[in-house]
Amino acid sequence: MNNLSLLTQNAVQPLCVEFSQSLMKRRSITPDDAGCQLWLAEKLRAMGFDCHHLNVNGVANLIAVIGNGPITTGFAGHTDVVPAGNEDAWRYAPFAAHIEAGTLYGRGAADMKTGIAAMLGAWHRLLQTNSPLTQRFVWLITSDEEGEAEFGSKEIKAWLDKHNIHLDQVIVGEPTAHSRTGDTIKVGRRGAVSARMTIKGKAGHVAYPQQTRNAIHLASAIVHSLQQLPWDAGSRDFPGSQLQVTHIDSGRFTDNIVPERCEICFNVRFSHQFSFNSVRSMIEQAVTACTAEAEIAWERHCEPYFTNNTASGSLIDVIEHAIKTNTGIYPLMSTAGGTSDGRFFAGPNTDVVEIGVPNSSIHQIDEHVHISDLVTLEDIFTQVITTLMTTK
């Protein structure tokens, strides 16, 4: 029976829908988990998972483990959501998890409580069969993905390292689709870093420029130098790197005074050909060549990741086949978009793939997902887990 047939029946909603509503009705705005992970842990314990709660600086993290074997697969996601904004502007209350005409409305409908619910629904279906586990599976859930991400997945990764748990592959339930579930998966993300640069000059009367150092002129030279940096142009698999100046401020304006200080803010999005350290080194060299009177404060750096293992039996291969079986299409493999918590788990020996429902309404008023897309995601996860459970 296909998903559309399921929707037209008067039967009880699929588990992933029920689970989504239970999570979405909790007002878990970053970093407040609002009990989502306690609810989730109760469900996972009933399935046999060993659950660990890791609370750091007001951030809730959940790690749940089941099975043993030579391969460890992680299921990552976040229970936090962004604020709803003007709640009066919503068609339905943002935390009511209202269903209308086959569509589920509310904060977290796309990003990404439904992804967690689809994973949970898939596990619930499979563990009812009492199939033997030939691998170890680990849930990795945080309430700090939409925020600074300082005490979320980064702390989870540190906990895994401390307990000698190596992740061979990680599935992230972020919303990746364009039009319908399965049409796009993410196999990488660019790195990102912001910076705030302060340039020091010397103030003075504009009529006597020889007695001054114009901080704006110095800043202009620096911006020009930054625009000449040798970034990569990108490839078919990965967007190129780029630097964008986002703000310039020389303080209060006075018509006849040369400014003694100028602040430049910029953001860099960089491919897997760079690391934060290589980006920082290249930029600092360029700035130093212009002036020694500049200080740079680096903010919120995120490393890139790229999974290109498409061999038979690889995580990408397993997910592709599950999508083809359940939707009739093969997915586009994308690396577009912003950052994700997949970066904390990715590495030379850890494949990371993101797959989820359509992302066209994330962070918006009337965020929503079609129930058919949600059920399809549960079906895909069910086949993926079934395949992984029997892999030796």
Give the pair of three-digit tokens for residue 318: 């397993």
DSSP 184-231: EEE-EE-EEEEEEEEEE-B-EETT-GGG-B-HHHHHHHHHHHHHTS--
Q: Of 145, 146, 351, 373, which is the active-site residue?
A: 145
* Residue 378 appears among annotated catalytic residues: no
What's the one-letter identity of residue 160? L
Run of H or E residues at 382: helix 371-389
CA-based nearest residue to 226, from 275, 284, 278: 284
Torsion sign over Cα 106, 109, 111, 116:
positive
CA distances from 289 to 42, 218, 285, 380 (A): 58, 11, 6, 53
* Residue 366 appears among annotated catalytic residues: no
Run of H or E residues at 269: strand 261-270
Q: Which residues in 66-102 are b (16+ Cβ under 10 Å) and which e?
A: bbebebbbbbbbbbbbbebeeeeebebebbebbbeee
Contacts of 50 (CB under 8 A, 6+ apart): 64, 65, 66
* 3 state DSSP class of 281: helix
**Dist. CA 367–CA 107, nearest whole Å:** 6
Q: Of 80, 303, 341, 354, which is the active-site residue?
A: 80
Torsion sign over Cα 317, 321, 322, 323:
positive
- Give the strand order in the sheet containing 242-249: 242-249, 261-270, 191-200, 294-302
Instruction: Report the DSSP beta bridge partners of residue 382.
Output: none
* 3 state DSSP class of 97: coil
What's the one-letter identity of residue 4? L
Q: Where in the sequence numbering do the catalytic residues fall?
A: 80, 145
